Structure formats: C-alpha cells, structure tokens
Amino acid sequence: MERNTFYITTPIYYVNDKPHIGHAYTTILADVLARYHRLLDVPTHFLTGTDEHGQKVQRAAEQHRITPRQQCDRTVVRFQQLWERLGITHDDFIRTTEERHQVVVRQILQDLYDRGEIYAAEYEGWYCVPCERFFTQRDLRDGLCPECSRAVERLFEKNYFFRMSAYQDWLLQTIEGNPDFIRPEHRRQETLGFLRQPLNDLCISRPKNRLNWGIELPFDQEYVTYVWFDALVNYISAIGYGADPERFERWWPASCHLIGKDILTTHTVYWPTMLKAIGVALPRTVFAHGWWLVGRDKMSKSLGNVVNPMEMADTYGVDAFRYFLMAEMTLGQDAAFTEEAFVNRYNADLANDLGNLASRVLTMVQRSLGGTLPEAPAPAAAEEELVSAVLAAVGHMQSYLTQMQLDRGIAEVLAAVRAGNRYFDRMKPWKLAKQGDGAALARVLYHSSECLRIVSGLLFPVMPGKMTALRQALGLGEAAARPRFAAMAAWGGLAAGTRVGALGPLFPRIAAASETLAEAPRGKSAAKASAKAGPEAENLVTVGIEDFAKVRLRTGVVVDACRIEESDRLLKLQVEIGADIRQIVAGIAGAYDPDSLLGRTVIVVTNLEPAVLFGVESDGMLLAARKGRKMRLLTVDGEIPSGAAVS
C-alpha cells in the first residue's frame, strides 16, 4: 500500500460452466480490497474477466452441441450478471477472445520466437486433458495426473516450447530475495520447493488436429496457443501493454494477482518467467487464498454439493453473503461452507450486534431528539472505551488490510460494534429520556451515532448496500456511498443539526432450521392435534430437572415501554436485569398500557435466542399466564432486586 496506485486482478474464469461460490469468493475479495483502496484515496484499477479458449471450453461446447464461440457468449453473461448482482465494481472485464487481447498474445509469441525463446521440438509425454497440462513420468502420482488424480494420455507430437528452464536460477533467487512476491509464506515455500527440482521448458502450443479453439500461433498455422500462455497475458493486455504505454505504465506492475491455491504454479513459475523473457517487471504480489469446502468435502458437480452464489444472494441478500465469505475465511487457509455456519454468523454478528445497535440508536434519535443530532459534545471519560475501540478498529483495519488479514480487520470492527452496544446499555438513554435529562441524552445519542458512522464506513467495502442505507439514515448525504478512511480516523464527524432518518430492520434475524422445527408444534395443526387428544396429551412430554435448568429465569424491572407502531399486540420494553438492560418485545399490548408497566418486576427468560419482531430486536421473553383473551404477567411476591435467579 506504500505505492500510490493499486492494481488488483482476479483469475479469469473458464466459461465451460456457470460460476460457483469459489469464483464468487475470489471476485468479492478483490472487490472488497479494491473498495478499501478507494476509501484510502489510492487510485485503483480492478480487472476481472473470462478465459475463453482451450480444451475445457471446446469440450463444453461439444457437449452442448454449440460452437465454442456460442459457449463463450452464453456463459460469459452468467459471470457478468453475477458480478452485477454481487455489487462487483471492476473497472474492466477482459475476455480472451477479444481482439485487444489476441493481438498482444500474438505479438509476444512472435517476439519470443524471433529471439529463439520459443523453439519447436518433438515431444513425448503424459497429458492430462481436464488440466490441459503435460507431465513427465516423474511428475505423475501413481501413474495419474498429479493435479487432479485422473488418468493421463501418452502423447507424441511436434510442439513449440518456451525456454522456461533457462530462468530457473533467476526465479529461485527472485523469490528467495522477495518475500512479498508470493503470499502467504507457505505458498512461497511450496513454489520454492517446486523450483528446487529441475524445471522443464513449457509446451506452449497445441496442434489444431487435437484442439482448434485457441489463438493461432503467428509462426505456424497448424497450431493454437496453449491456453495458459494465452490466459496469463490478460493481466497486461487489458491495461494496454504494447498498445498504450502510458496506461500500461500507470498500472503495471500489478499490486496483487489474487488467485486460488489451485493455480499457484502457473502464476508463480510460468508467469514470472514469461514476463522476464519479454522484459516486463513482475507483479508485486501473487496472493493464493484457500479453498472453500462444502462441509468437509471438496465442492464438485459429481458430489452435487456445488453452492450457487446467485441462490445465496437471493435467499439471504447480497451483503450478508459477502460478509459471511469475508469474515469466515482466514485468508490463505481453507474454510468450510455450511448454511448453518452462515446463519449462525449472520445472527450473531449482523442481526444481534450491528443490526441491534443501528436500530436502537436510530429509533431513539427519532423518538427522543426528533431526528436531529445535537452539537458534537467532546467525548469524556464515559466515552473513553467506546471511542478507543472504534478508532482502534480504524487503525487495525488499515494494517490488517496490508497484511491481507481481512477476517481479523472485520473482527475488530465487530468488537467496536459491541463496544457501541455496551456503551448504550451502560448509559441507558431511555432512562435519561424519562428523567428529562436532555443534555445527557443528546450526548449519548451523538456518540452512539458517531460510532455507527465510523463502523458503517469500515464495513462499507464488505456490505456496500446495507452500509449505504445505514449511512443515508445517519444523514451522511453524499458521503453515504463514498466513505473515506481519513474521515473515519477522526471522532466527531457528524455535524450538529444532521437529520437522522428511519431505517427498517437492517438484518432481520434468520430462524435456524432447528428453530423452525421447534416452532412447528405451536402452529394451528399442532393445537388441533392436542385438542383432539384431550388434556392428558399435554402430559406426553416430560422434561428432567436438568432440561428445565437450562432455561435461565431472572427477575427484571421494566424501565421503559412503548408500543410498536405497526402492531397492536406488541410492546417494546427496556428491562433492567441486574447490571444489564435488555430490549424485549412482548405480546402484551392488549393487556397492559406501556406506562402502567414502568417499575414493575417481571420474570424474564434470559437465555432465549434473540429474535426480530416487526423489525425490532428482542433479547429475552417475559413470562405471563393466559386463559383465553385474559393475560397477566408473572411477578414476585414482594421486594427483590432485579437480576435475581428464579427457579
């Protein structure tokens, strides 16, 4: 990040099939990194695209009984539509069938051929069709392809070779002397290990009688270019190599080629030697991320476990999907995708922590301050923990970005969100409102809003849609969709008089599959079933004392209560439970006026999973007795402090 430009690339994806979660992951990650650099005011160029030549695409076309060109044109749209849906902000999308790319590939081939860097030779070796790669006998593992463990074919043919072996020592030294070139470190070691074995020359051609879907060699019409020798060039052809020197100089060398660990050798051995041969500087970093597994399995069509990113975005929303992928994977390691993990993280981080803070703060600014922020009061001792957690998150996010530890940066921001919730609980603004302490109330709401301003900016690259909505509600106007790191690093950015708007639930809680099942018996059919079965049916389920003991019951005192506008059944309560204040939504509006509840002692289930009702978070449940329409809250028989255990 010490450079003044940031050029990031994704692999260009094969158009043999529709995109899956792996493609979505790399592209979202590149998008998040690009967006963070824009927040830092670093001129950024983000390239993605499609790899349209080669055997995989030709095979897919044959299977679909269409031409390779049709295969490309049909499939590329699926990638482009997905990127649009996922909010990807690439500056350029390159297709290797475009003329601007093919010209450069031909130019490089001719140049290398003219200088003897490419030569013709009879080749005999093992060829893996799906991987489109040749292997020597020594490379094979148990006689199978070392990459995909499938059967290999013996091939004899004339081909063209790039003198890659000549660069072996140079490449070893370069990688040894430049720890940032391949990241993370264990991938650097993997390439170094590979390079300590003899390095062969690279076969860069395919005879047309075997494969004709590719860029024809400029010096032999009987051959097309090996798809990798064509594809890697996209990183320079797209930014004007050989055509627009000024543009090329502006962006090259790339700051980061982001790749999956599957394509390490091509990017850290083939590509640097190709660049060296044409006299072009190496990219600063090739970063290889880990693999998304589905549970414990590799994702594969045959296992039928391929995760469709479009479906995830449709079911859970684009931002939540982006958030999960970024927060869950420690960059460089593998991660497991399960919907259960997704729902758990969503509910914990987004519904309970961030969504809760946003809804509490915005609602109170509306209700108690008429939606207008006061003059910025200087933070005092009470705000110390909050301000330092939030500003520390800004610093951490910046340094974790440089270290490519995005998940850690996000964890720091979530820690700041939790500090925001703690501050709110500790300062009890609803109490201040009741007591009519306007100055103290304004101060708490200002600082809570300020916390939201900064954390929403920090999370903007990950969840641009939701964070823009939150920032718009915070009255940030133009800056809502264009946060800046510089503006986040200083406390007090919200101007006095800022109009704060209402916002629906940002992240409504998702009911986990297990909860849905647990809820089922409460439905109509269950009620009917138990009515038919008679009163004794109620006794069918018995629980042991150890099960009953799992339910945590505490006394609480209602300190604030109001109606929920859209519902005539629900009240929103703030309940003090010992040192804690919980927001609880209770279906008691038919039986109690809000004001009549203030100061009452109630019994609260405190370890129920939080839920969102009518967009309002509810963290606990009150106990009540009911018969028909009549309902009365459970309370205690005499004085006892809030927070007392009930058993």
Q: What are phi and psi of 26, to 5 degrees?
A: -60, -40
Nearest CA to 287 out of 175, 180, 189 is that of 180
Q: Which residues of 452-470 are buried (b: 16+ CB within 10 A; e: fewer)?
A: bbbbbbbbbbbbbebbbbb
Least spacing, CB of residue 265 vs ligand ME8, in Å:
11
User: By C-beta, is 8 or 259 nearer to ligand ME8?
Assistant: 259
User: By C-beta, is 13 or 36 nearer to ligand ME8?
Assistant: 13
Map the footprint of ligand ME8 across residues 281-340, applying CB under 6 A: 291-292, 299
Q: Which stretch binds ligand ME8 (CB under 6 A): 170-178, 255-263, 478-486, 544-552?
A: 255-263
Which of residues 7, 45, 51, 558 is near ligand ME8 by CB under 6 A?
51
Told to check if 79 binds ligand ME8 by CB under 6 A, we report no
Map the footprint of ligand ME8 across residues 203-242, applying CB under 6 A: 231-232, 234
Q: How far is it, in rounded angstroms, from Cα 292 to Cα 467?
A: 26
User: By C-beta, is 135 or 491 nearer to ligand ME8?
Assistant: 135
Residue sitting closest to ligand ME8 (CB): 22
Which of residues 6, 7, 25, 400 is near ligand ME8 by CB under 6 A?
25
C-alpha 43: how far from chain center:
23
Which of residues 6, 7, 8, 12 is near ligand ME8 by CB under 6 A?
12
**Sheet bearing 153-162, strands edge to edge:** 133-135, 118-128, 153-162, 202-203
* Through-space distance between the first and last CA atoms of the chain, rounded to whole angstroms: 58
User: By C-beta, is 250 or 261 nearer to ligand ME8?
Assistant: 261
Least spacing, CB of residue 473 vs ligand ME8, in Å:
35
User: By C-beta, is 228 or 430 nearer to ligand ME8?
Assistant: 228
Which of residues 147, 262, 437, 580 is near ligand ME8 by CB under 6 A?
262
Which of residues 6, 7, 8, 13 is near ligand ME8 by CB under 6 A?
13
Told to check if 260 binds ligand ME8 by CB under 6 A, we report yes
Told to check if 76 binds ligand ME8 by CB under 6 A, we report no
Q: How far is it, in rounded angstroms, from Cα 487 to Cα 489?
A: 6
User: By C-beta, is 22 or 620 nearer to ligand ME8?
Assistant: 22
Whether residue 434 contacts residue 559, with contact meaning beta carbons closer than 8 Å, is answered with yes
User: By C-beta, is 242 or 260 nearer to ligand ME8?
Assistant: 260
Whether residue 618 contacts residue 574, with contact meaning beta carbons closer than 8 Å, is answered with no
Task: Show the DSSP H helices in 278-351 as ranges.
Answer: 309-316, 318-328, 339-345
Beta bridge partners of 561: 573
Beta bridge partners of 135: 126
Whether residue 488 contacts residue 390, with contact meaning beta carbons closer than 8 Å, is answered with no
Q: How far is it, in rounded angstroms, from Cα 408 to Cα 402?
A: 12
Least spacing, CB of residue 1 vs ligand ME8, in Å:
22
User: By C-beta, is 78 or 250 nearer to ligand ME8?
Assistant: 78
User: By C-beta, is 263 or 553 nearer to ligand ME8?
Assistant: 263
Q: How far is it, in rounded angstroms, from Cα 396 to Cα 569?
A: 45
Altogether, the residues listed in the chain come to a count of 647
Least spacing, CB of residue 262 vs ligand ME8, in Å:
5
| Sequence-ordered list of residues with C-beta below 8 angstroms from that of 338, at least 6 positions apart, any chain | 294, 295
Told to check if 47 binds ligand ME8 by CB under 6 A, we report no
User: By C-beta, is 30 or 612 nearer to ligand ME8?
Assistant: 30
Least spacing, CB of residue 306 vs ligand ME8, in Å:
9
Peptide bond preceding 198: is omega within 30 degrees of 0, i.e. cis? no
CA atoms within 13 A on the CB side of 191: 32
Q: Which stretch binds ligand ME8 (CB under 6 A): 22-30, 409-417, 447-455, 563-571?
A: 22-30
Least spacing, CB of residue 342 vs ligand ME8, in Å:
15
| Sequence-ordered list of residues with C-beta below 8 angstroms from that of 337, at least 6 positions apart, any chain | 21, 292, 293, 294, 295, 307, 328
Beta bridge partners of 46: 8
Which of residues 215, 238, 239, 263 is near ligand ME8 by CB under 6 A?
263
From residue 536, how far is each of 520, 529, 532, 540 by CA, in Å? 20, 12, 10, 7
C-alpha 158: how far from chain center:
46
Least spacing, CB of residue 214 vs ligand ME8, in Å:
13
- 3-state SS, one letter per residue, for 352-399: HHHHHHHHHHHHHHHHHHCCECCCCCCCCHHHHHHHHHHHHHHHHHHH
C-alpha 516: how far from chain center:
26
Q: In 3-state terms, what secondary structure has residue 491?
A: coil
User: By C-beta, is 231 or 604 nearer to ligand ME8?
Assistant: 231
Least spacing, CB of residue 261 vs ligand ME8, in Å:
7
Task: Read off the tokens for 465.
Answer: 């849609």
Least spacing, CB of residue 20 vs ligand ME8, in Å:
7
Count residues binding ligand ME8 (CB under 6 A). Answer: 19
Interface characters, 365-404, with ligand ME8 (x: CB under 6 A): ----------------------------------------
Q: How far is it, in rounded angstroms, from Cα 397 to Cα 400?
A: 5
Q: How far is it, in rounded angstroms, from Cα 230 to Cα 94?
A: 12
Map the footprint of ligand ME8 across residues 123-182, applying CB under 6 A: none
From residue 61, how far is each of 66, 69, 300, 368 by CA, in Å? 5, 8, 20, 64
Least spacing, CB of residue 252 vs ligand ME8, in Å:
15
User: By C-beta, is 241 or 485 nearer to ligand ME8?
Assistant: 241
Told to check if 184 binds ligand ME8 by CB under 6 A, we report no
User: By C-beta, is 263 or 470 nearer to ligand ME8?
Assistant: 263
User: By C-beta, is 277 or 394 nearer to ligand ME8?
Assistant: 277
List of residues contacting ligand ME8 (CB under 6 A): 11-14, 22-23, 25-26, 51, 231-232, 234, 259-260, 262-263, 291-292, 299
